[in-house]
Amino acid sequence: MGREKEAGGEVSVLLTTPYMDEAARCHRVGFMREGKIIAEGTPSELRATLNGRILELRGQPISLLRKVAHQDEDVEDVQAFGDRLHVRVGVDRAKVVLSRLKSRIRSEGGEVTDLRPVPPVLEDVFIALSEGNHD
């Protein structure tokens, strides 16, 4: 929602979009489920809820990488982002997952070209919120 002064008053603009890159350009963002707001804040505030919990994984074959990552007990979710995977881990579990995931993938016959922490994007937030219980 945006606000601008117009002839002595403020005007708010409400934008609805399924595109997180558009939402990221807004001053404030709210996520809704079943007609209720389940989270709201600036894009930075919302992304901060997942700070330190998103790992980017690249390699081959991507289906094997996804399978092995899903099997890790500290991994909450794995989503494809083009030619890479975003692996969401539990709070304070990134270092543990980083230390063991590469070797687990290699032992299954996969190749890891990159595994590193990355800043979360709004798409990560949306996915996490859509899975959680926010009654």
CA angle at 27 for the pair 23 and 29, rounded to the nearest 5°? 50
pLDDT, tens digit, 9 for 90 and up, residues 26-68: 889 999 988 899 999 999 999 999 999 999 999 999 999 999 9
d(CA 23, CA 15): 8
Mean pLDDT over each residue of the chain, to the nearest integer: 91
Instruction: Identify the CATH assignment for 52-118 out of 3.60.140.10, 3.90.1150.10, 3.30.1780.10, 3.30.70.100.
Output: 3.30.70.100
Q: What is the pLDDT of residue 13?
A: 80
Q: Which H, E and C letters describe 107-125, residue by residue?
A: HCCCEEEEEEECCCCHHHH
The two structure tokens encoding residue 106: 């290699």
**pLDDT at 7 (0 to 100):** 60
**At residue 129, what are phi and psi to the nearest 5 degrees?**
-70, -35
Q: Which of 16-20, 46-50, 78-82 has the lowest mean pLDDT?
A: 16-20
What does the alpha-carbon distance between residue 120 and residue 131 come to, in Å, rounded to a whole number? Answer: 16
Q: Does residue 1 register a pLDDT over 60?
A: no
Condensed to tens digits (0 to 9), the pLDDT of residues 108-128 reads 999 999 999 999 999 999 999
Q: Can you give the residue ranges of every domain in the chain?
A: 2-46, 52-118
Q: Which two tokens stand for residue 68?
A: 């092995």
Give, in order, the Cα–Cα distances in Å from 47 to each of 8, 9, 53, 94: 34, 31, 10, 16
**What is the separation of C-alpha 5 from the centre of its chain, rounded to a whole number of angstroms?**
34
| Residue 14: pLDDT band with limits 50, 70, 90 | confident
Higher-confidence residue: 10 or 122?
A: 122
Which phi and psi (to 5°) does residue 132 adopt? -80, 170
Q: At what angle do helices 62-71 and 94-107 cross, to 10 degrees?
A: 130
pTM, 2 dp: 0.84
